[in-house]
Structure 1
Amino acid sequence: MISGESIVALSSGRLPAGVAVIRISGSQTRFVVETIAGAAVKDRSAVLRRLRARDGTVLDNGLVVFFPGPASFTGEDVAEFHVHGGRAVVARMLEVITGFDGVRHAEPGEFTRRAFLNGKVDLVETEALADLINAETEAQRRFAVQNALGAQSELYLGWRRRLIQARAMIEAEIDFADEDDVPGSVSDTVWSDVRTMIGEIDRHIAGFRAAEIIRDGFEVVILGAPNAGKSSLFNALARRDAAIVTDEPGTTRDLLEVVLDLQGVRVRLVDTAGLRDAPGKVEAIGIEKARAKAHGADLLLLLQDVADPRPTGSLPTGGASLRVGTKLDLLASHPASDAAGNYDLVISVKAGTGVEALLAEIGRRAAEATGSAGDILPSRLRHVELLGETNRHLLRATDSLAVGQELRAEELRLAADRLGRIVGAIDVEDMLDVIFSQFCIGK
């Protein structure tokens, strides 16, 4: 499909830069290229040309690549101008290109929108492209590439095909029970497969938490009494002075956060106010924030000064945690307080002891929380919601033994519709294609 208007935009990074890539898509693309480049260029080949405005003024020397539709990213004629990345050069190029009739500046995401409308990518792949652009860690990149290549879409479309097949078989049994070409008593096989699919979808939905961790980060919250060494550890793990460190209790009164990349996984490390009884008014607010933050954390680091252990009051239970003994360097002067065996790890930020081991353990747990590298996970909340609706329809279909096959088949249709909405592939005709391709009805 060729749109009436052509669009153009800078498709590379922030200026100034060594090279800037200006992309144009639409029916005017070929004319723009031949006018600015002075002649036609060979399809899908980078050609060095002197680029000129229509009045003959030289704009720049650069590469030109032309991709004829529909074999292009958007499905339309697409071209790229690779020019020097100066602000003035790019501004003048865009000014000249938008000066052609029928060419305008692209809106945010409009190239990808055209790719979707022209059937080059589905909705899940579109979302994956956005994730790939925003990827900051190796885990995010792998996850986005897997989905951009269609792994997630194929899973949902595979389930949808099975439901279309199941509905076709049920409706064939209902409508053509007297035909020799239609196998009888298919219901048991159909409903057994549907029940299997319900379990598959439930397990897939359960992977959403791992997907959230890949995208948003594995949250680690540091808790402990005042002066337990929380801010010192926070700075050591962040490898910079992100938090104020003093001997005065209650220095940290708000939540401080830094983002780390551990073993390719985004990790959000949060420093909190020291937990103690009878704090001041402002400090009490910080303590309340600390306890609230701890309830949603993926991992708690429960810090205690091994030389001067202090109570922290009630701590969140049930979540993953590590008991960390701090200030190990002080044990020599406090032999009676040698209780290192009571902790999962003991560290000394001052001496640099145990910090790397703690960092490695956090990274190991974060990587473990993201699942195996090849796992296909739901990447958006809307996927989870539509998958949940899918299973509700399937459960109604399998539990409706007292109702007719027609109503149960309708539940299968609604379930397949929800799966189709995830990828944007809704086609009411494909169920009929299955029926007439597998049975010689009306021969």
Structure 2
Amino acid sequence: MWRWLWTRVVRAAAGPRSACSRRGCSNSSSTSSSAPAAGATIFALSSGQGRCGVAVIRASGPASGHALRSLTAARDLPPARRASLRLLSDPSSGEPLDRALVLWFPGPHSFTGEDCVEFHVHGGPAVVSGVLQALGSVPGLRPAEAGEFTRRAFAHGKLDLTEVEGLADLIHAETEAQRRQALRQLDGELGQLCHGWAETLTKALAHVEAYIDFGEDDNLEEDVLSEAHKDVRALEAALDAHLRDARRGQRLRSGAHVVVAGPPNAGKSSLVNLLSQKPVSIVSPEPGTTRDVLETPVDLAGFPALLSDTAGLRDGVGPVEQEGVRRAQESRHFLASVVGPRCSLSPGERQQRLLLVLNKADLLPGAGQDPEPRLPPHLLLSCLTGAGLDDLLEALRTELAALCGDPAAGPPLLTRARHLHHLRACRDALAHFRPARDLALAAEALRVARGHLTRLTGGGGTDELLELIFRDFCVGK
């Protein structure tokens, strides 16, 4: 019995049985364009443009070894995965191009899964241009398109789609928190989690189909169906926990909105300039200098944020300032409020997450003296001297970690709308499993749910989706 059930599990893991396949009809499918073109070898500069100490030029494909021999005039390839010093020459004219380190990565033990070679040359524009032209003259080689190296790694199973997205996020990471989150996703944590969930559904589907085919067989254990229900309930709870993260992963990837608001001349523009470490806003003793919402991306205590300077909250003296105050009130999503030493804040003004900051602490008569003990919890700050800035940054870090999640702890975060879509669709499909009186419908609900988990990691993805993901990569990656 268990040998038969294991066969059922393997068959279910291979893909859902459509109604067409059960009837024995044919249903051919075309090959995905995500696979690399047969025989094509690509090359590109993989490091940054401009003058640099070392530039990395990469080639991938079946003619990579031939390209390496052509530029080094060597019969034998260097030892695999070892840096070797070689003189590079133009294969057509024999003119020396550079003395460089070369690395040979025979497939499938390479980034793309194909034969690969890297040329670590001096980073002058003339050297890079000469080596690229020399590679272009080798038969069978062509310049790579944007993201083509990573796309080949995906096509050869070296990366799943969540790891590809993690690699893209790592390349674009600008803060410590973004780097940590992207590295966890590139390491496969989200993909492994989804693969584990898919295996749970595969096992449950095998049990349900076993009950459909052999429900009256004495050799079938009575608790086969109850085990499937138990596994599905546990998976539903796990999905609910991840869907309740309030889009924290997407905020971590794109940045939280931090709005600085308060009365005129409280030091809002000074605080924005202090946090962004550049003169974003005009600072003037004249009230009402800021009449619009000025926004700048910043790194706040390791988290990405869009920092907004707003008009002073008061009854504007003119229509322009009144419009600025209206925009400031509409912008208060995650609010860092700057209040002067003699101003107060009523509890009704709290909107979402609030940090109450009392600026101009340098004007207080005594060090550490609290000007308004009746106020809600607050921070003292002097934008003039910088006193209290470390406490403010730590408070911002705590608030932003609550909004964006801690990338160093807990389960992997969902960083894209695509992740949320497939997990919600999986959860919705499982909602039809338990109420289904017909076991065939229950099995179909499991197949649909598992299909969404498979598509999340890249199985069965459409060409349009892959183009959308890979277009964010630069040439050479």
* Band of TM-score, shorter chain: 0.7 to 0.9
Question: Equivalents in 2 of 1:195, 1:211: separation in Å?
Answer: 25
Taking the TM superposition and a 5 Å limit, the aligned residue runs for 1:401-412 are 403-412=437-446
Is the partner of 2:306 in helix, strand or coil?
strand
Question: Equivalents in 2 of 1:116, 1:7: separation in Å?
Answer: 16
Question: Equivalents in 1 of 2:94, 2:391: separation in Å?
Answer: 65
Q: Deviations over 1:144-179 (max 9, x none)?
A: 111111111010010001001100000011112344
**Post-superposition offset of 1:324:** 2.0
Is the partner of 1:221 in helix, strand or coil?
strand
**Post-superposition offset of 1:292:** 2.1
Question: Equivalents in 2 of 1:264, 1:350: separation in Å?
Answer: 23
> Is 2:145 the partner of 1:117?
no
Question: Equivalents in 2 of 1:266, 1:58: separation in Å?
Answer: 47
Partner of 1:324: 357
Partner of 1:430: none
Is the partner of 1:267 in helix, strand or coil?
strand
Taking the TM superposition and a 5 Å limit, the aligned residue runs for 1:236-315 are 236-294=274-332, 296-297=333-334, 300-307=335-342, 309=343, 315=349
Which AA in structure 1 matches 2:361? L
Partner of 1:51: 88
Is the partner of 1:397 in helix, strand or coil?
coil
Partner of 2:455: 421
Partner of 1:92: 130
Question: Equivalents in 2 of 1:208, 1:106: separation in Å?
Answer: 39
Q: Bigger CA drift: 277-286 or 132-141?
A: 277-286
Question: Equivalents in 2 of 1:83, 1:182: separation in Å?
Answer: 66
**Post-superposition offset of 1:187:** 1.8
Partner of 2:45: 10
| 1:62 to 1:109, Cα distance in 2 relative to 1, 3 A | same
Contact persistence 2:301–2:393 (CA under 8 A): no
Is the partner of 2:207 in helix, strand or coil?
helix
> Is 2:392 the partner of 1:358?
yes
| 1:312 to 1:225, Cα distance in 2 relative to 1, 3 A | farther
**Post-superposition offset of 1:139:** 1.5
Taking the TM superposition and a 5 Å limit, the aligned residue runs for 1:13-412 are 13-39=48-74, 40-54=77-91, 55-207=93-245, 209-294=247-332, 296-297=333-334, 300-307=335-342, 309=343, 315=349, 317-332=350-365, 338-343=371-376, 344-372=378-406, 373-375=408-410, 376-400=412-436, 403-412=437-446
Contact persistence 2:311–2:321 (CA under 8 A): yes
Q: Deviations over 1:295-343 (max 9, x none)?
A: x32xx12222223x3889984x44110222222344549xxx9425425
Which AA in structure 2 matches 1:301? A
| 1:313 to 1:187, Cα distance in 2 relative to 1, 3 A | closer
Contact persistence 2:310–2:325 (CA under 8 A): yes
Is the partner of 1:79 in helix, strand or coil?
strand
Number of aligned pairs?
417
Q: Deviations over 1:183-229 (max 9, x none)?
A: 23422221122122111111112236221232122332111122122
Which AA in structure 2 matches 1:339? E
| 1:279 to 1:393, Cα distance in 2 relative to 1, 3 A | farther
| 1:211 to 1:228, Cα distance in 2 relative to 1, 3 A | same
Partner of 1:431: none
| 1:87 to 1:240, Cα distance in 2 relative to 1, 3 A | same
Contact persistence 1:173–1:183 (CA under 8 A): no
| 1:312 to 1:93, Cα distance in 2 relative to 1, 3 A | farther
Contact persistence 1:340–1:346 (CA under 8 A): no
Is the partner of 1:276 in helix, strand or coil?
coil
Task: Give the number of the structure with larger relative contact order, counting CA–CA contacts within 8 Å between residues 6 or more apart.
Answer: 2
Question: Equivalents in 2 of 1:374, 1:313: separation in Å?
Answer: 33
Question: Equivalents in 1 of 2:147, 2:137: separation in Å?
Answer: 22
Which AA in structure 1 matches 2:328? A
Contact persistence 2:176–2:302 (CA under 8 A): yes
Contact persistence 1:6–1:102 (CA under 8 A): yes
Which AA in structure 1 matches 2:53? G
Q: Bigger CA drift: 278-287 or 117-126?
A: 278-287
Is the partner of 2:229 in helix, strand or coil?
helix
| 1:305 to 1:187, Cα distance in 2 relative to 1, 3 A | same
Question: Equivalents in 2 of 1:57, 1:25: separation in Å?
Answer: 24
**Post-superposition offset of 1:241:** 2.6
Is the partner of 2:131 in helix, strand or coil?
helix
Contact persistence 2:252–2:405 (CA under 8 A): no
Contact persistence 1:275–1:313 (CA under 8 A): no
Question: Equivalents in 2 of 1:51, 1:218: separation in Å?
Answer: 49
Is the partner of 1:342 in helix, strand or coil?
coil
**5+ residue gaps in structure 2?**
1-34, 462-477
TM-score if structure 2 supplies the norm length?
0.82
Is the partner of 1:323 in helix, strand or coil?
strand
Identity rate, percent? 41
Which AA in structure 1 matches 2:146? P
Partner of 2:16: none
Question: Equivalents in 2 of 1:89, 1:352: separation in Å?
Answer: 48
Question: Equivalents in 2 of 1:59, 1:351: separation in Å?
Answer: 55
Question: Equivalents in 1 of 2:389, 2:198: separation in Å?
Answer: 49
Which AA in structure 1 matches 2:417? L
Is the partner of 2:418 in helix, strand or coil?
helix
TM-score if structure 1 supplies the norm length?
0.88
Contact persistence 2:311–2:325 (CA under 8 A): yes
Which AA in structure 1 matches 2:459? A
Question: Equivalents in 2 of 1:301, 1:285: separation in Å?
Answer: 21
Q: Bigger CA drift: 164-173 or 142-151?
A: 142-151
